[in-house]
Structure 1
Amino acid sequence: MTLTLDHIAVLGETLEEAAAHAEAAVGMPMEPGGSHPIYGTHNQLLGLGGGLYLEAIAIDPGAEPPGKPRWFGLDAFKGPARLDKWVCRVPDMEAALQALPMAGQVVELSRGRLQWLMTVPEDGLLPYDGLFPALIQWLSPVPAGAMLSASGTRLTRLEVTHPEAAALEALLAPHLDAPLVRFVTGDVPGLRGSVHTAQGHDRILT
């Protein structure tokens, strides 16, 4: 059972804030995404090459309340937009949950041509202050990252900072196949992405 980096997500109190924060780092506009009625959220996307992509996501004010906690801890999200979540692709969700049961419960979702399984904790809050990766298994033949047009911008590094980074790394290490990911011990939990833009600039996304 392997975990491969699938995408990273910028959260915002509004989608406009999340997208603007992402665009300021990558130097280009995000592409239209869609909505997720089961959680009352909507997103925008940008391909990062190699099957990776960047997501901007927020609560959709026009959607019906989901009647349960939203994924990615969005119900509790406050403050400026920021890079806040990372998502790992797995080939077999059942095997993944046997190895990492703390990932949450499996939810089946679809949007257009896309179909996937996702792990979401009952309270919507991922372990390690939200820095445990959400797990995804794509059921559609072509996953989202492969459907997005190449933007010329690529992710070169993803740092996962947490006071218990060593414990998180040890938990994931037997399964994680993600050369771009580094674990850093620090007082303030957070993600830090390094990107090389289509214009040839190296920028930081936090």
Structure 2
Amino acid sequence: MAAFDHLVISAGALGEGGAWVEAVLGVPTEPGGQHDLMATHNRLLRLGEGEYLEVIAADPSRPAPGHPRWFRLDRFTGAPRLTNWVLRADDLDAALAVAPEGAGRATDLARGALRWRMAVPGDGCLPFDDGFPGLIQWQGAHPAAMLPDRGCRLVSLTVSHPEAGALARALPLDDPRVTVVAGPPGLAARIATPGGERLL
């Protein structure tokens, strides 16, 4: 089994994404860093022990990579929004062995002092129209432990997809906060904040 790790807010520009999260949740995000392999950069918000929210965008200071960026960022348009979620696995190879086709290939990654392995799809798209989560295995420190606690917590995550039954069966997760429902592809996260619950 795997555990909830983080939410992904995609944005056309990182500053725009960070400002949107702050406007919705009423708390600031923290500087993250750059991902050399994907030419992306991020900002972060702690959601509790071992859980966080990531705002991510293409990094305009870097040349485009010679392959698709993760989370469909090469195709992203419009306002910042919740586009993906990520599960933490103790054994990424084992998780991938039972994951749906297209979940990605285990890739070694690093950002500053952080080291991890992540399943990266070759086309940047995850199964079930991105309803299936990215899979990650941290090696050492977890980013949430490095972030200030702003008092935000994930209350619930609703994953919508026309093939809700098949998606639910494919998830290596037992978390009462996560619900899969039939409907158009999409994600909705309810976050507890110091100012009350907010919806992403």
Q: Given the two structures, how large is their TM-score scaled by the length of structure 2?
A: 0.95
Query: Partners of 2:165 and 2:45 in 1: how far apart?
Result: 31
Identity %: 49
Per-residue Cα deviation, 1:142-173 (whole angstroms, up to 9, x for no partner): 2112222211111100110111122100111x
Q: What residue number does 2:134 align with?
A: 134
8 Å CA contact 2:151–2:194 kept in 1: the answer is yes
In the TM superposition, residue 101 of structure 1 has moved relative to its aligned partner by: 5.2
One-letter identity of the residue aligned with 2:15 = E
8 Å CA contact 2:38–2:65 kept in 1: the answer is yes
Q: What residue number does 1:46 align with?
A: 45
Query: Partners of 2:19 and 2:57 in 1: how far apart?
Result: 12
Q: Secondary structure at the match of 1:33?
A: strand
Q: What residue number does 2:120 align with?
A: 120
Query: Partners of 2:145 and 2:175 in 1: how far apart?
Result: 17
8 Å CA contact 1:6–1:145 kept in 2: the answer is no
2:186 to 180, 190, 197: 190
Query: Partners of 2:54 and 2:47 in 1: how far apart?
Result: 10
In the TM superposition, residue 179 of structure 1 has moved relative to its aligned partner by: 2.4
CA RMSD of aligned residues (A): 1.1
8 Å CA contact 1:3–1:178 kept in 2: the answer is no
Q: What residue number does 1:68 align with?
A: 67
8 Å CA contact 2:11–2:79 kept in 1: the answer is yes
8 Å CA contact 1:108–1:118 kept in 2: the answer is yes
Give the aligned length.
199
Structure 2 matches for 1:104-183, cutoff 5 A? 104-140=104-140, 142-172=141-171, 175-183=172-180
Query: Partners of 1:96 and 1:111 in 2: how far apart?
Result: 23
In the TM superposition, residue 94 of structure 1 has moved relative to its aligned partner by: 1.2
In the TM superposition, residue 110 of structure 1 has moved relative to its aligned partner by: 0.7
Q: What residue number does 1:203 align with?
A: 198
Query: Partners of 1:146 and 1:184 in 2: how far apart?
Result: 32
One-letter identity of the residue aligned with 2:126 = L
Query: Partners of 2:164 and 2:75 in 1: how far apart?
Result: 23
Q: Which runs of 5+ in 1 are unaligned?
A: none
Per-residue Cα deviation, 1:160-205 (whole angstroms, up to 9, x for no partner): 0111122100111xx213221111111x211101011123x11111
8 Å CA contact 2:46–2:52 kept in 1: the answer is yes
Q: Which runs of 5+ in 2 are unaligned?
A: none
Query: Partners of 1:119 and 1:125 in 2: how far apart?
Result: 11
Deviates more, 1:81-90 or 1:99-108: 99-108
Q: Secondary structure at the match of 1:170?
A: helix
